[in-house]
Amino acid sequence: MTRPNDKYHGVWPVMLTPFDDDGEIDYGSLAKLIDWYIAAGVHGLFAACQSSEIFFLSDAETQRLVRFVVDHVAGRVPVVASGHTAAAASQQIDQINAIAACGVDGVILISNRLAMPAEGDDRVLRSLERITAATDASLDLGIYECPYPSKRLLSDEVIRWCAASNRFTFIKDTCCSLPRIRQRLALVQGSRLRIANANSQTLLGSLQAGAHGYSGVMANFHPDLYVWLYEHWRDSPETAERLQNYLSVAALAETLSYPVSAKDYHTSIGTFASTRCRAREANGYFTTHEASTMRQMLALGEDVKQALHLP
């Protein structure tokens, strides 16, 4: 069966989860966040991922969160989500089917859940075979090379299997290596599988090589710049190179107490009511020095937009 895959391209922010001061999900702020992403022109949303603090949500919370995102988006952009956090394969299948029932366009598997760190590709492939057999054949699947709790990069063998399966449509690539991305693009050529680079420093080079988009944490700060780069790197190559230079340096801010830093930013613009996190203690963790650095990075981004005459 032939199914359209044009939806799996462009800029896909990894969504934050806003919490109130009591640590409960703040759905009012979540609605504002969704509208903020869409107003920036993003092409899709990745809900229930590591930026969403998925490992610190219960399965019931994750499902409510994803349903809310799907309902509030209301078809304006496609939505994928994970929820694939369990250790046992049987529980993982339950999680995947529950997220699929929330109405998402695709369910994203977490690569480090497919095998233990010391296990090889044979175990990964067995897990993939079991999951695809136990889920509806019409369900689009993806894989995210999530660095928490351990990072498992996909081998050529696994990517080749996913491409040939006709079930996998989305890889959130965190290899941070342009030669490796080029190799992966060759492996998926002619298949339904699309590769979204999570690494800002290699983004323009990966787009020039044929990558299908961006899905990284910096889209929680200035998604409009990533949208411009994706949509205009061909027709404005010199401007794209200059913008890439800024985005590459700005992305070094990922190391500054994320996701608290992103929540601090969204509090400053009125999207969020609180910087509360579950993954990290917000109070006392995100220093005033880090906050100042982030604000200067974002202010410089506004200067870059003006200098490059970007909308």
Q: Hey, which residues are catalytic here?
A: 144, 172
Separation of alpha carbons 239 and 302, rounded Å: 15
CB of 152 closer than 8 Å to CB of 114: yes
Cis ω on the peptide bond leading into residue 259 (within 30° of 0)? yes
What angle do helix axes 89-100 and 121-133 make, rounded to 10 degrees? 50
CB of 184 closer than 8 Å to CB of 201: no
Q: Residue 171: which of 163, 229, 179 has the closest Cα? A: 163
> Contacts from 296-304 at CB under 8 Å and sequence distance 24+?
297/221, 297/250, 297/253, 298/221, 298/222, 298/265, 300/246, 300/250, 301/221, 301/222, 301/225, 301/246, 301/250, 304/225, 304/242, 304/243, 304/246
